[in-house]
Amino acid sequence: MDPIFYIAIVFLLSVLFSFLGMGGAIIYVPLLYWLGMDLLTAITIALLLNVVTTFSASITYIKKKMVDFHTAAPFIAASAIAAPFGAFISQSVPENTTLNVFSLIVALAGFTIIFSKRIGKSEKGLKASQKKRLILGISLGLFIGILAGMLGIGGGTFLVPALLLLGFGIKEAPATSALVVLFSSLFGFLSHIGNLQIDLFLLVGMGLTALVGGQIGSRLMYLRHDRLRIFFESYFSRILGVVLILISITIQYSLIGS
């Protein structure tokens, strides 16, 4: 496959997902796998691209003072503990088992994204106490860490709706999510680093592209063009949800045929 194709895909996905407070691994993993990479390599590269994209986006969000570090801390700590365990699972079970789990999680993520838009429109979540935020942070952080380690998914598709429910605004939720996904993906990547098998120049090119895309996507949130912002926040999110459900169905179909 032409390296330009990989770079173009990474640029597009890094722009779109960084705007939403996600890294894009939930698309990278199946895409790279279908393009011929083995599953563990696809997971490792997806996590690395997640790290670069969310790192780039987080720089912008932190400068804009949109990140709630106090809320992010328990998510990050819990994901650090769980990510190596998730990596151990993915390296210990048959590939088809991992793909089955990935398919189910992707479908769940698709439905979550579609229905979470109702929460975001109101900009009013449940004003949870600090204790409830801590409990949710630890429990969801463990879940996100396992996802990162086992499937290469940073967890932003679940974290953004959860933050909206906690009362975060439709800008603060993606900003805080990006920081959490940065660390969950980093811990997952470090647990898989031995599986990294790809041309170094292609990897550097993809990484630099994700860095630029992350900056563009995070800055799009602050544009004055309200119509563009509404498109990303509403219509694109719904489209993404449908795409994820279709990916899940495709994975299941391929497993049945194998």
Q: How much is the pLDDT for 133?
A: 79
Q: What is the mean pLDDT of the chain?
A: 85
Whether pLDDT at 224 is above 60: no
pLDDT tens for each residue of 44-100: 999 999 999 999 889 988 998 889 998 899 999 999 999 999 999 998 999 999 999
Q: According to the model, what pLDDT value does residue 118 have?
A: 54
Contacts of 178 (CB under 8 A, 6+ apart): 18, 21, 22, 23, 54, 57, 58, 61, 67, 156, 218
Q: How far apart are the C-alpha atoms of 71 and 211, rounded to whole Å?
A: 25
- pLDDT at position 55 is 92
User: CB of 167 within 8 A of CB of 126?
Assistant: yes
pLDDT tens across 8-34, in order?
999 999 888 887 778 888 999 999 999
Q: Could you give the residue ranges of the DSSP H alpha helices within 127-236?
A: 130-151, 156-165, 172-192, 200-220, 226-230
**Number of domains into which the chain is organized:** 1
Whole-number Å distance between alpha carbons of 117 and 43: 28
Specify the pLDDT at position 98: 93
| pLDDT band of 156, cuts 50, 70, 90 | confident
* Predicted pLDDT at 169: 77
Q: What is the DSSP letter of 195?
A: G
pLDDT at residue 257 is higher than 90: no
Domain range for 198: 3-257
